[in-house]
Amino acid sequence: MPELHAFIAVARSGSFSAAAHTLFVTQGGVSRCVQRLESRLGTPLFVRNSRGVSLTPAGQRLYDQVEPAMQTLSDAIAGVQTDSAPGGVLRLRTVSTLSMRWLVPRLPLFHERMPGVRVTIQPNLLDDDFLETDVDCWLYWRKSATGQWPRHLRATYIIGRETVPVCHPSVLPCIKTPADLLRYPLLYHAEVPEFWSQWCEAYGLPPPQTLDSEFNIMAGAIDAVADNFGVTLSPACLLQMDLRAGRIAVPPNMAYSSRRGYYLCTPKTRDGDPVIEAFRDWLLECAESDFETD
């Protein structure tokens, strides 16, 4: 089943990286699943092209038959779970990098606490109005340090204000002062190009004249740093997995507070919902256990 899920996600998106973000796993994990399926079937299912990947004739035949069957299975299981445990599904919309690198690795702990609750995760929308009735809550990046949330929402800060520079481990010995970072290509997230200027201001440096590569997801910038493509600024909470793996490094004593971060947003009409309240409390406990002090 994991191999088929990966195959369908790649076929739908035309990209291994996009499929990884949809499934909240790594691109390498998706690639390995597809390779196992191709090995079992004895035939290639995708061909690479300038726009990504496309299905081979054999892949198209498999997709045409498997996709409707997988959808039927998914609908059937969801229906039984909903009938057997009304109110036992928490429908969350969240940022892909936060989900992959911070939330999902911790979800088994929430399931231990609330074994009757199933958390389903959807990718965030760029300009969400938080009005959809098929979503219970959002883990959303605050886009402005001074902006107001919509009046119908209750927004609780969870984590992510502490922002740190990120470099390749081989570069770390060369970074003695904040100014040393500016000698490397400056990578940035498309939604927060101002982070570098704010960070420079915090350390008494002139703003950079130019920035280098832009990424539409923070995971892409982190992966580029791991490939020694440059340096970036990232919420510290997104880095634990990569730091443990030795893929990246964080120069000490160069953090600053962005005054933004990730917030749990819930409709005020759902105040008092026991599942949402339990989820909020658990998220705050997870953030506190990470020793974030911002």
The CATH number of whichever domain residue 53 belongs to comes to 1.10.10.10
Same domain? 25 vs 143: no
- Is pLDDT above 70 for 293? no
> If you average pLDDT over residues 27-44, what whole number do you get?
88
**Domain carrying residue 215:** 162-257
User: Is 57 found in the same domain as 130?
Assistant: no
Instruction: Select the highest-mean-pLDDT range: 43-52, 254-263, 283-292.
Output: 254-263
Q: What is the CATH number of the domain that holds 193?
A: 3.40.190.10
Q: Do 8 and 50 sit in the same domain of this protein?
A: yes
Encoded tokens for 228? 């020694």
- What is the arithmetic mean of pLDDT over 7-24? 81
Clarify whether residues 124 and 253 are in a common domain: no
Do 169 and 243 belong together in one domain? Answer: yes
Shared domain for 92 and 133, answered yes or no, is yes
- Separation between Cα atoms, residue 160 and residue 206, nearest integer Å: 25
Total domains in the chain come to 3
Asked whether residue 294 is domain-assigned, the answer is no
| CA atoms of 160 and 8, how far apart (whole Å) | 33
Output the average pLDDT for the chain.
88
Given 83, 114, 140, the domain boundary residue is: 83
Comparing 70-84, 158-172, 227-241, the range with the smallest average pLDDT is 70-84
pTM: 0.69
Q: Which of 83, 106, 122 is the last residue of a domain?
A: 83
